[in-house]
Amino acid sequence: MSIDSFGSSVVSRVRWLPMIVPSASLCPIGIEGTFFALLMSIDGLGSLSSKCGGGVISHIFHVTRIDFVNLWRVVLIRNLLRIATLGFIFLVPNTTRFDMQHPGDILQSGSANIDLETNRDSLQLLPLKERENVC
């Protein structure tokens, strides 16, 4: 592993911290792994679309390996699109993971709500049967 790839790996992991920490506070209890997988798939889709979109915009403005006349326009569009994502900040809910209802609480109705802490005495352990050897 070269120093360049090591540095790139470290920077890419540090780049994720500002997104992972708030996302962990928004994630409902019990689905952290699914939520992390969702974030990784969104990152992969965003990476793919940015590479394809960047190629299309470079082609539209005729930016090549030898012609950089319109490169400033491509860079300006890139920066404007990055700033435009701040317009979606209103979609982030102002809540924590403890304010959200647990899926089990949502599925159970009012009278059928079973609280395991108060009904702990009614729980019974069943004996395990030994498996018979079948030869």
Could you read off the pLDDT of 19-36 as tens digits, one per residue?
777 777 777 777 878 888
Domain range annotation of the chain: 7-90
Residue-wise pLDDT tens digits, 84-114? 989 988 887 776 666 665 555 555 545 444 4
d(CA 50, CA 56): 10
pLDDT of residue 99: 62
Phi, psi of 97 (to 5 degrees): -70, -20
List, in sequence order, the alpha helices (H) in the chain.
3-26, 32-60, 71-84, 103-107
Is pTM beyond 0.75? Reply is no
